[in-house]
Amino acid sequence: MAGAHVQVRELSRCFRLGSEEVWALRGVSLDVPAGEFLALVGRSGSGKTTLLNLVAGLDRPTAGEVELDGQRVDQMSERELTLMRRKNVGFIFQSFGLLPLLSAHENVELPLRIAGFKHADRVARAKRALEIVGLTRRADHRPYELSGGEQQRAAIARAIATEPSLILADEPTGELDSATATAVLGLLKQLAREQGITVIACTHDRIVMDMADRVEELADGQLVTGAHGEVWGHVQAKPLSPFAAAHPDREHTTARVSSLVGGDLSQFGPKTELTPANKAPLPVERVPAGPEREPAATENANGTRPADEGEADAADRWARPQR
Protein backbone atom coordinates (compact mmCIF):
# COMPACT_ATOMS: atom_id res chain seq x y z
CA MET A 1 0.00 0.00 0.00
CA ALA A 2 1.22 3.53 -0.78
CA GLY A 3 1.13 6.36 1.74
CA ALA A 4 -0.90 9.51 1.29
CA HIS A 5 0.65 12.87 0.53
CA VAL A 6 -1.07 15.43 2.78
CA GLN A 7 -0.89 19.15 1.99
CA VAL A 8 -2.47 21.92 4.06
CA ARG A 9 -2.37 25.51 2.82
CA GLU A 10 -3.30 28.59 4.88
CA LEU A 11 -5.84 26.57 6.85
CA SER A 12 -8.07 28.43 9.32
CA ARG A 13 -11.01 27.38 11.43
CA CYS A 14 -13.24 29.76 13.40
CA PHE A 15 -15.96 28.68 15.82
CA ARG A 16 -18.70 31.18 16.60
CA LEU A 17 -20.29 31.15 20.04
CA GLY A 18 -23.04 33.74 19.85
CA SER A 19 -21.31 37.02 19.09
CA GLU A 20 -17.88 35.68 20.07
CA GLU A 21 -15.37 34.19 17.61
CA VAL A 22 -12.86 31.54 18.65
CA TRP A 23 -10.06 30.86 16.17
CA ALA A 24 -8.89 27.27 16.60
CA LEU A 25 -6.50 27.50 13.61
CA ARG A 26 -4.96 30.54 11.90
CA GLY A 27 -3.19 30.20 8.56
CA VAL A 28 -1.61 26.78 9.08
CA SER A 29 0.44 25.40 6.17
CA LEU A 30 1.86 21.89 6.35
CA ASP A 31 3.31 19.36 3.90
CA VAL A 32 3.49 15.71 4.97
CA PRO A 33 5.20 13.43 2.42
CA ALA A 34 3.99 9.87 1.86
CA GLY A 35 5.27 7.38 4.44
CA GLU A 36 6.26 9.98 7.05
CA PHE A 37 5.52 9.69 10.77
CA LEU A 38 4.59 13.21 11.93
CA ALA A 39 3.96 14.19 15.55
CA LEU A 40 1.84 17.25 16.31
CA VAL A 41 2.55 18.70 19.76
CA GLY A 42 1.24 21.66 21.69
CA ARG A 43 -0.68 22.62 24.78
CA SER A 44 -4.32 21.64 25.22
CA GLY A 45 -6.49 23.91 23.06
CA SER A 46 -3.69 24.68 20.60
CA GLY A 47 -5.64 23.24 17.64
CA LYS A 48 -4.12 19.76 17.21
CA THR A 49 -7.38 17.80 17.18
CA THR A 50 -9.05 20.45 15.02
CA LEU A 51 -6.31 20.02 12.43
CA LEU A 52 -6.79 16.23 12.42
CA ASN A 53 -10.55 16.67 11.96
CA LEU A 54 -10.01 18.96 8.98
CA VAL A 55 -7.53 16.58 7.35
CA ALA A 56 -10.00 13.69 7.79
CA GLY A 57 -12.91 15.69 6.43
CA LEU A 58 -14.81 15.48 9.72
CA ASP A 59 -14.99 19.28 9.79
CA ARG A 60 -14.99 22.07 7.21
CA PRO A 61 -12.36 24.83 7.27
CA THR A 62 -13.32 28.49 7.48
CA ALA A 63 -10.55 29.25 4.98
CA GLY A 64 -7.69 27.41 3.31
CA GLU A 65 -7.19 24.14 1.46
CA VAL A 66 -6.68 20.49 2.40
CA GLU A 67 -5.34 18.07 -0.21
CA LEU A 68 -5.00 14.30 0.07
CA ASP A 69 -3.04 12.85 -2.86
CA GLY A 70 -3.95 15.88 -4.96
CA GLN A 71 -7.68 15.75 -4.17
CA ARG A 72 -9.28 18.71 -2.41
CA VAL A 73 -10.81 17.32 0.78
CA ASP A 74 -12.38 20.66 1.66
CA GLN A 75 -14.41 20.62 -1.58
CA MET A 76 -15.71 17.04 -1.37
CA SER A 77 -19.36 16.21 -0.79
CA GLU A 78 -20.45 14.23 2.27
CA ARG A 79 -20.75 11.06 0.19
CA GLU A 80 -17.25 11.53 -1.24
CA LEU A 81 -15.86 12.18 2.23
CA THR A 82 -17.49 9.00 3.55
CA LEU A 83 -16.00 6.91 0.76
CA MET A 84 -12.58 8.52 1.28
CA ARG A 85 -12.57 7.73 4.99
CA ARG A 86 -13.69 4.14 4.41
CA LYS A 87 -10.87 3.37 1.97
CA ASN A 88 -8.02 5.78 2.64
CA VAL A 89 -8.07 6.84 6.30
CA GLY A 90 -7.63 4.85 9.52
CA PHE A 91 -8.35 6.28 12.97
CA ILE A 92 -6.74 5.49 16.32
CA PHE A 93 -8.29 6.99 19.45
CA GLN A 94 -6.92 7.58 22.93
CA SER A 95 -9.73 5.55 24.56
CA PHE A 96 -9.34 2.72 21.96
CA GLY A 97 -12.98 2.93 20.78
CA LEU A 98 -13.54 -0.85 20.77
CA LEU A 99 -17.09 -2.19 21.02
CA PRO A 100 -17.24 -4.09 24.35
CA LEU A 101 -19.55 -6.91 23.21
CA LEU A 102 -17.47 -7.79 20.14
CA SER A 103 -14.27 -9.83 20.16
CA ALA A 104 -11.00 -8.41 18.90
CA HIS A 105 -11.52 -10.16 15.55
CA GLU A 106 -15.07 -8.81 15.25
CA ASN A 107 -13.93 -5.27 16.11
CA VAL A 108 -11.30 -5.44 13.37
CA GLU A 109 -13.80 -6.92 10.92
CA LEU A 110 -16.48 -4.26 11.55
CA PRO A 111 -15.04 -1.48 9.31
CA LEU A 112 -14.51 -4.06 6.58
CA ARG A 113 -18.18 -5.01 6.81
CA ILE A 114 -19.16 -1.32 6.58
CA ALA A 115 -16.84 -0.86 3.58
CA GLY A 116 -18.64 -3.68 1.75
CA PHE A 117 -15.97 -6.40 1.70
CA LYS A 118 -17.14 -9.98 1.20
CA HIS A 119 -17.06 -12.45 4.08
CA ALA A 120 -13.98 -14.40 2.96
CA ASP A 121 -12.06 -11.18 2.29
CA ARG A 122 -13.12 -9.75 5.66
CA VAL A 123 -11.90 -12.81 7.56
CA ALA A 124 -8.57 -12.87 5.71
CA ARG A 125 -7.91 -9.14 6.18
CA ALA A 126 -8.86 -9.18 9.87
CA LYS A 127 -6.67 -12.23 10.51
CA ARG A 128 -3.74 -10.61 8.70
CA ALA A 129 -4.14 -7.33 10.62
CA LEU A 130 -4.23 -9.13 13.98
CA GLU A 131 -1.16 -11.12 12.97
CA ILE A 132 0.72 -7.91 12.18
CA VAL A 133 0.06 -6.51 15.68
CA GLY A 134 0.69 -9.87 17.39
CA LEU A 135 -2.85 -10.61 18.62
CA THR A 136 -3.61 -13.84 16.77
CA ARG A 137 -4.01 -15.81 20.00
CA ARG A 138 -6.26 -13.12 21.52
CA ALA A 139 -8.55 -12.77 18.51
CA ASP A 140 -11.58 -14.28 20.28
CA HIS A 141 -11.22 -12.22 23.46
CA ARG A 142 -13.45 -9.25 24.22
CA PRO A 143 -11.92 -5.84 25.09
CA TYR A 144 -12.42 -6.27 28.86
CA GLU A 145 -10.36 -9.46 28.64
CA LEU A 146 -7.41 -7.59 27.06
CA SER A 147 -4.79 -5.40 28.66
CA GLY A 148 -4.47 -1.72 27.75
CA GLY A 149 -1.64 -2.40 25.33
CA GLU A 150 -3.54 -5.24 23.70
CA GLN A 151 -6.62 -3.05 23.30
CA GLN A 152 -4.56 -0.35 21.60
CA ARG A 153 -2.97 -2.93 19.31
CA ALA A 154 -6.45 -4.17 18.42
CA ALA A 155 -7.36 -0.57 17.59
CA ILE A 156 -4.29 -0.35 15.33
CA ALA A 157 -5.30 -3.61 13.64
CA ARG A 158 -8.76 -2.18 13.03
CA ALA A 159 -7.20 0.99 11.56
CA ILE A 160 -4.95 -0.90 9.10
CA ALA A 161 -7.43 -3.65 8.14
CA THR A 162 -8.77 -1.63 5.19
CA GLU A 163 -5.17 -0.95 4.06
CA PRO A 164 -5.44 2.85 4.35
CA SER A 165 -2.87 5.28 3.01
CA LEU A 166 -3.19 7.59 6.04
CA ILE A 167 -3.52 6.92 9.78
CA LEU A 168 -4.68 9.73 12.10
CA ALA A 169 -3.98 9.08 15.79
CA ASP A 170 -5.25 11.33 18.58
CA GLU A 171 -3.23 10.72 21.76
CA PRO A 172 -2.56 7.05 20.94
CA THR A 173 -0.46 6.50 24.09
CA GLY A 174 -2.49 8.61 26.53
CA GLU A 175 -3.63 5.59 28.59
CA LEU A 176 -0.54 3.39 28.27
CA ASP A 177 2.58 2.97 30.39
CA SER A 178 5.96 3.80 28.88
CA ALA A 179 6.89 0.20 27.98
CA THR A 180 3.55 -0.50 26.27
CA ALA A 181 3.58 2.92 24.58
CA THR A 182 7.05 2.22 23.18
CA ALA A 183 5.87 -1.11 21.75
CA VAL A 184 2.75 0.45 20.20
CA LEU A 185 4.67 3.39 18.70
CA GLY A 186 7.34 1.04 17.41
CA LEU A 187 4.61 -0.87 15.61
CA LEU A 188 3.22 2.34 14.07
CA LYS A 189 6.67 3.42 12.91
CA GLN A 190 7.31 -0.02 11.44
CA LEU A 191 4.08 0.24 9.46
CA ALA A 192 5.10 3.66 8.20
CA ARG A 193 8.49 2.36 7.07
CA GLU A 194 7.61 -1.06 5.64
CA GLN A 195 4.15 -0.42 4.20
CA GLY A 196 4.52 3.26 3.39
CA ILE A 197 1.56 4.41 5.51
CA THR A 198 1.55 8.10 6.43
CA VAL A 199 0.99 8.61 10.17
CA ILE A 200 -0.04 11.89 11.80
CA ALA A 201 -0.33 11.73 15.60
CA CYS A 202 -1.38 14.37 18.13
CA THR A 203 0.42 13.84 21.41
CA HIS A 204 1.78 15.16 24.69
CA ASP A 205 3.97 12.08 25.09
CA ARG A 206 7.73 12.40 24.74
CA ILE A 207 7.97 8.81 23.53
CA VAL A 208 5.92 9.71 20.45
CA MET A 209 8.04 12.81 19.84
CA ASP A 210 11.29 10.87 20.08
CA MET A 211 10.14 8.16 17.67
CA ALA A 212 8.49 10.42 15.07
CA ASP A 213 10.30 11.34 11.86
CA ARG A 214 9.33 15.00 12.35
CA VAL A 215 7.76 17.10 15.10
CA GLU A 216 5.58 20.15 14.44
CA GLU A 217 4.30 22.35 17.26
CA LEU A 218 1.04 24.30 17.40
CA ALA A 219 0.38 27.24 19.72
CA ASP A 220 -2.80 29.32 19.67
CA GLY A 221 -3.75 27.78 16.33
CA GLN A 222 -0.47 28.57 14.56
CA LEU A 223 2.62 26.55 13.70
CA VAL A 224 5.50 27.69 15.91
CA THR A 225 8.06 24.95 15.27
CA GLY A 226 11.63 26.15 15.60
CA ALA A 227 12.85 29.14 17.58
CA HIS A 228 9.32 30.00 18.76
CA GLY A 229 8.43 26.47 19.82
CA GLU A 230 7.81 26.18 23.55
CA VAL A 231 6.61 22.65 24.28
CA TRP A 232 9.00 20.75 22.03
CA GLY A 233 11.97 22.87 23.11
CA HIS A 234 11.11 22.28 26.76
CA VAL A 235 10.78 18.54 26.18
CA GLN A 236 14.14 18.36 24.40
CA ALA A 237 15.88 20.25 27.20
CA LYS A 238 14.42 18.00 29.91
CA PRO A 239 16.65 15.03 30.82
CA LEU A 240 15.32 11.55 30.21
CA SER A 241 14.07 9.45 33.06
CA PRO A 242 16.04 6.26 33.82
CA PHE A 243 12.68 4.50 34.24
CA ALA A 244 11.62 5.24 30.63
CA ALA A 245 11.43 2.22 28.36
CA ALA A 246 14.27 2.12 25.83
CA HIS A 247 13.69 1.96 22.10
CA PRO A 248 16.16 1.59 19.23
CA ASP A 249 15.79 5.14 17.91
CA ARG A 250 16.61 6.84 21.18
CA GLU A 251 20.20 7.90 21.83
CA HIS A 252 21.25 6.63 25.19
CA THR A 253 23.02 9.20 27.33
CA THR A 254 24.74 8.83 30.66
CA ALA A 255 23.17 11.97 32.16
CA ARG A 256 19.73 10.58 32.84
CA VAL A 257 17.94 12.30 35.67
CA SER A 258 14.77 11.03 37.27
CA SER A 259 12.12 13.48 38.35
CA LEU A 260 10.97 10.89 40.88
CA VAL A 261 14.05 11.25 43.04
CA GLY A 262 14.70 14.95 42.62
CA GLY A 263 17.54 14.50 40.16
CA ASP A 264 19.91 12.80 42.62
CA LEU A 265 22.17 10.68 40.42
CA SER A 266 23.72 9.03 43.46
CA GLN A 267 20.50 7.04 43.81
CA PHE A 268 21.40 5.16 40.61
CA GLY A 269 25.20 5.02 40.86
CA PRO A 270 27.20 2.00 42.09
CA LYS A 271 27.30 1.70 45.85
CA THR A 272 30.80 1.62 47.45
CA GLU A 273 31.42 -1.41 49.60
CA LEU A 274 33.16 -1.00 52.94
CA THR A 275 36.51 -2.77 53.19
CA PRO A 276 38.11 -3.94 56.41
CA ALA A 277 40.57 -1.00 56.12
CA ASN A 278 37.94 1.75 56.09
CA LYS A 279 35.22 -0.05 58.02
CA ALA A 280 34.64 1.81 61.29
CA PRO A 281 33.58 -0.14 64.39
CA LEU A 282 29.98 0.37 65.36
CA PRO A 283 29.52 2.24 68.67
CA VAL A 284 28.43 0.07 71.55
CA GLU A 285 25.74 1.56 73.75
CA ARG A 286 26.34 0.78 77.40
CA VAL A 287 23.22 0.71 79.55
CA PRO A 288 23.88 1.73 83.16
CA ALA A 289 23.00 -0.85 85.70
CA GLY A 290 19.79 -0.09 87.59
CA PRO A 291 18.82 -0.94 91.14
CA GLU A 292 18.46 -4.52 91.98
CA ARG A 293 14.95 -5.87 91.54
CA GLU A 294 13.15 -6.70 94.72
CA PRO A 295 12.00 -10.26 95.13
CA ALA A 296 8.42 -11.02 94.25
CA ALA A 297 5.88 -10.64 96.96
CA THR A 298 4.82 -13.76 98.75
CA GLU A 299 1.46 -15.20 97.89
CA ASN A 300 -1.43 -15.67 100.25
CA ALA A 301 -2.63 -19.00 101.39
CA ASN A 302 -5.26 -19.07 98.65
CA GLY A 303 -2.59 -18.49 95.97
CA THR A 304 -3.23 -14.77 95.29
CA ARG A 305 -0.74 -11.93 95.64
CA PRO A 306 -1.64 -9.35 98.30
CA ALA A 307 -2.60 -5.96 96.81
CA ASP A 308 -0.60 -2.90 97.76
CA GLU A 309 -2.14 0.31 99.12
CA GLY A 310 -2.57 1.91 95.64
CA GLU A 311 -4.45 -1.05 94.29
CA ALA A 312 -6.64 -1.15 97.39
CA ASP A 313 -7.56 2.53 97.02
CA ALA A 314 -8.42 2.03 93.34
CA ALA A 315 -10.66 -0.92 94.23
CA ASP A 316 -12.48 1.11 96.90
CA ARG A 317 -12.96 4.00 94.49
CA TRP A 318 -14.75 1.90 91.87
CA ALA A 319 -16.65 -0.38 94.24
CA ARG A 320 -20.46 -0.32 94.19
CA PRO A 321 -21.80 1.90 96.93
CA GLN A 322 -23.71 0.17 99.70
CA ARG A 323 -27.32 1.19 100.25
Strands of the 214-219 sheet, one edge to the other: 89-92, 166-170, 198-202, 37-41, 214-219, 222-223
Other residues' Cβ atoms within 10 Å of the Cβ of residue 61: 21
CA separation for the pair 245, 243 (Å, rounded):
6
Other residues' Cβ atoms within 10 Å of the Cβ of residue 204: 16
Q: What is the DSSP letter of 37?
A: E
Topology (CATH level 3) of domain 6-243:
Rossmann fold (3.40.50)
Q: Tens digits of per-residue pLDDT, 77-121?
A: 999 999 999 889 999 887 788 999 999 999 999 999 998 899 999
SS3 labels along 287-307: CCCCCCCCCCCCCCCCCCCCC
For 2, the 3-state DSSP assignment is coil
More confident residue, 71 or 312: 71
| Whether pTM exceeds 0.75 | no
What number of residues does the chain have? 323
Q: Tens digits of per-residue pLDDT, 54-63?
A: 999 999 999 9
- Return the domain boundaries, the chain: 6-243
CA separation for the pair 318, 170 (Å, rounded):
75
